[in-house]
Amino acid sequence: MKTPEAYIESLRKLNLNVYLFGKRVENVVDNPVLRPSLNAVAMTYAMALKPEYAEIMTATSHVTGRTINRFTHIHRSVDDLVKKSKMGRLMGSVTGCCFQRCVGMDALNALSIVTFDIDAAHGTSYHKHFARYLEYVQDQDLVCDGAMTDPKGDRSLPPHQQSDPDMYLRVIEERKDGIVVRGAKVHQTGAVNSHEIIVMPTITMREQDKDYAVSFAVPSDTKGITYIIGRQASDTRRLERGRMDRGNVSFGGHEALMIFDDVFVPWDRVFMYREFGFAGRLVEQFASYHRQSYACKVGVGDVLIGAVQTIAEYNGTDRSSHVKDKIVEMNHLNETLYCGCIACAAEGHRENSGTYSVDALLANVHKQNVTRFPYEISRLAQDIAGGLVVTLPSEEDLRAEQTGPWLRKYFRGKADVSAENRMRILRLIENLTLGSAAVGYLTESMHGAGSPQAQRIMIARLADMKHKQRLSWKLCGIKDDNAADTGDRQDPGNSSGQNKP
């Protein structure tokens, strides 16, 4: 397993084509806007080397038998699925942001299932390709970016009917040694912190869209790939001399638009090619895993709740009954989220490939809750913290000779709490609920792993309504849903023995 230092040095060796604020980024590793997101990924390596977290953060490879980082592991039991949820909460709590390796882990596990199923149906050799690729990822302890979401253009039209055919990533050329692809992937979290890019289709495909039914993996610095970094609220605070106004002084995240400008992919790295009937299967399998992965929001919630308890104590309001009750509600909502990610793991099952998958219905229910509860937790946090979350002067004002004494005088809370510490915790609350970290806590909670409606569609599809109906029919005496009205049925204990259900 890599050390954090080895991971950082491995990124220095990559020749990524990255743009930020309209200019090419020559040094991705040391760029002050991007470095906090790299630090968050580095923590996934650091935590795996700590003996006290080894059970959660590491696993035994079923391929080589060696100890590996759990972020490169293929789930082989329900216990693995449960530990994945625990790992997500742990990492969210130590970084306070998105740590970016879940999507690659979920892509690997989804492909371990679907490549096996495609081979069984079509006699292809994708699973063999995938197994070799997996061993490479595990041996090198690599960060993989799972690239699923396409720009989509006109959402009312399928890929082949788009006015611009590149709105969904597609194969434009087949060669003897591989394929050439063109298109883009959007919302790519942690993309420039990744060694590998794993591409998957984003929707169910029909035969007319078979050129879009493609999955493959390429190194992140492959010729033809360009990254354009997205803006975040307060992101330029990372360029300022002080660090206090960041809120989270060390960690953060980033997203990117990823362009594939005629990128070549060798056959041994192709995991799906025109098997359009399995595109939807891969999307749904990945989505179920990734909706479980929002255990990370529970960990970030732990951080926010801790910050709110702290500001309440600093303000002298921690003993007020309404404040205590609001913090109880924040904990209630956060732990309810944890129940969901543990439940879908505990109800997991074995697929034909030997990989264990989560319960898809419960995973979608969990993610549906994630689209709501963090917003209420954040509302309560801002309620308790007060207006200084949005009116606080800068760290520069705190350090300035003329203004600093006034801030230290008037921004004290309780007498034994410094104004600086009070400002620091307020900045963290701002960061988590409004600033750059809110991208990973709120907006990502809403749209990551699919929009809220995507989960509702899956819940409607997966909930066994006929079973629920039959349960009710049995208790009230209906024989079947087409039964004619025969009048009231008597209790089964009727001594006459007539009209028993």
CA-closest candidate to residue 2, choices 55, 52, 57: 57
pLDDT digits (tens, 9 = 90+) for 315-326: 999 999 999 999
Average pLDDT in the 335-342 region? 98
| Count of other CB atoms within 10 angstroms of residue 383 | 12
Assign residue 189 the CATH number of its domain.
1.10.3140.10
Distance between CA atoms of 423 and 148, rounded to whole angstroms? 40
Indicate whether 106 belongs to any domain. Answer: yes
Query: For residues 112 and 64, is the Cβ–Cβ distance under 8 A?
Result: no
Residue-wise DSSP of 239-303: GSS-SGGGSSSS-----EEEEEEEEEEEGGGEEEES-GGGHHHHHHHHHHHHHHGGGHHHHHHHH
Count of structural domains within the chain: 1
Residue 380 lies in a domain: no
Mean pLDDT across 146-168: 98
Q: Is residue 97 part of a domain?
A: yes
Please indicate, yes or no, if residue 357 is contained in any of the structural domains.
yes
Check whether 491 has a pLDDT greater than 60: no
Res. 439 pLDDT band, cuts 50 70 90: confident
In the DSSP assignment, the letter for residue 165 is G
CA 496 to each of CA 380, 474, 488, 492, 500: distance values in angstroms, whole numbers, following the listed order: 62, 21, 15, 10, 9
Tens of pLDDT, residue by residue over 398-426, are 999 999 999 999 999 999 999 999 999 99
Residue 268 lies inside a defined structural domain of this protein: yes
- Averaged pLDDT for residues 79-107: 98
pLDDT, the chain, mean = 95
Q: Is 154 within a domain?
A: yes
At 114 the pLDDT is 98
**Per-residue confidence at 485, pLDDT binned at 50, 70, 90?**
low
What is residue 97's predicted lDDT score, i.e. its pLDDT? 96
In a domain, 428, yes or no: no
Residue 490 CA: distances (Å) to CA of 207, 254, 438, 482, 486: 56, 66, 59, 20, 11
Name the residues annotated as catalytic.
98, 102, 189, 255, 290, 294, 296, 444
Tokens of 387: 């207006």
Range of the domain at 224: 4-375
pLDDT in tens, 379-398: 999 999 999 999 999 999 99
Q: Does residue 161 lie within any of the structural domains?
A: yes
